[in-house]
Structure 1
Amino acid sequence: MGKLPELYVAVDVEADGPIPGPYSMISLGMAVVGRDDLRFYTELRPISDEFVPEALAVSGLDRDRLLREAPAAEEAMAAAAKWINGLRKEGRPVFLAGPAVFDGMFVHWYFHRFLGKSPFSASGSGIDLRSYWMGLEGCEWVSSRKSVIKQKLGVTGLPHTHHAGEDAAELAGVFEAILASRKE
């Protein structure tokens, strides 16, 4: 049996503040690059009473509804880990985010805090879209925004909505276009 291919898992989170712990991840979306059929989305019950109203407003999610209806963090992260580990039949999941610092910080912290380990890796390492693009293009940081990448590659029909599931799919589409551009 040959070595399984890497599966780039585009990850997006919405949070109600700048860091995990004092603040909460309130939704998590994942989409496998090149595989529209492999997506995951969950909302999460806030873990703290603290929140930044402006940060919460970005997602458009109702905090009171999340407190009443969303799964607890342990349940949501267990479902996410099960989904990621289920991908291992087809390939090796590799974390992808843009920016990886923000999304990765929340995802890694939540996996370790609520499950004791991350299904991605012990270090939380993965691919940062902007850093990847800078290395590929030799450009400066300012020219590595997702909107710039989309314009340069002619990527359309992938809006950024601040819905974690939709934004994960957007990121997957952008990275798929970047990979295709390398082959040309």
Structure 2
Amino acid sequence: MLRSSPAPPWCLLPSTVGEYLSVDVEADGPIPGPYSLLSLGAAVAGRQDADGFTAADPTRQTFYRELRPISDGFVPEALAVSGLDRARLVEEGLEPALALAQFTRWVREVSGDAQPVMCGYPASYDWTFLYWYLIRFTGESPFGHSGCLDMKTLYAAKAGLPLRAVAKRSMPAHLLPRRPHTHHALDDAVEQAELLANLMAWPGPGTPR
């Protein structure tokens, strides 16, 4: 089981335990509203407490839904990356309000008494769609307005690199997930949970594994 070092007691708020959820989305454009969230995948990556981060098996507790588009607009290149059939989703996709309500319920169930944290690589795109959809269709976010961890930033900080110099190809091989990146939202959420566990356990460059 991968585990990070304990946090110093002065940096923890009382009773603060984080449930880290790897989240990936597939969408058909650059921003929500004019464009649509098409699929949402999530996997429990682990839990952070005063003793450090304990990784979970990311295949054990997962969530996946495909959503009905909310607009007619789409960017063909973005849609192609997702591999999803937009016409099928217009007919068969879940209504966003239902899908996001189900997601919120799942987040709360798996988090229990811990505070959920959304994790992504990079998180900015996924968080933009997820937070907008949560507020638009449920009126709230189980992550609050800032419960988001960007794995790209985490690596940059640990490696001592400028953020814009970071890409997965620049990471040491032992940090990279064994699973492929398929652009299926659940596959990629599980894959990125593995990356998060490796990053949390990594002490930084020039130190023993």
Q: Which residue of structure 2 lines up, in the alignment, with residue 169 of structure 1?
A: 190
Gapped regions of structure 2 (runs ≥ 5):
1-13, 46-55
Q: Report if the CA contact (8 A) 2:181-2:188 is conserved.
A: yes
Q: Report if the CA contact (8 A) 1:4-1:90 is conserved.
A: no
1:13 lines up with 2:13 in the alignment: no
- How much has 1:4 moved relative to structure 2? 6.5
Q: Which residue of structure 1 lines up, in the alignment, with residue 89 of structure 2?
A: 66
Pairing partner for 2:37 from 25, 39, 48? 25
Moved more, 95-104 or 17-26: 95-104
Deviation above 4 Å: which 4+ runs of structure 1? none
The separation in 2 between residues aligned to 1:156 and 1:10, in whole angstroms, is 13
Q: Secondary structure at the match of 1:66?
A: helix
Q: Could you tell me the percent identity over the aligned residues?
A: 42
Q: Secondary structure at the match of 1:182?
A: coil
Q: Which residue of structure 2 lines up, in the alignment, with residue 117 of structure 1?
A: 140
Question: Structure 1 residues 160, 147: CA separation in 2 closer, same or farther (over 3 Å shift)?
Answer: farther
Moved more, 63-72 or 140-149: 140-149
- How many residues align? The count is 181
CA deviations 1:96-121 (Å, max 9, x no partner) are 11111110000000000000011111
Question: Structure 1 residues 39, 148: CA separation in 2 closer, same or farther (over 3 Å shift)?
Answer: farther
Q: Which residue of structure 2 lines up, in the alignment, with residue 138 of structure 1?
A: 160
**Max Rg structure:** 2
Q: Which residue of structure 2 lines up, in the alignment, with residue 47 of structure 1?
A: 70
Q: Secondary structure at the match of 1:157?
A: coil
Greater per-residue helix proportion: 1
Q: Secondary structure at the match of 1:35?
A: coil
Gapped regions of structure 1 (runs ≥ 5):
none
1:81-160 matched pairs, under 5 angstroms? 81-89=104-112, 91-121=114-144, 123-149=145-171, 151-160=172-181
Q: Secondary structure at the match of 1:26?
A: strand
1:77 lines up with 2:100 in the alignment: yes
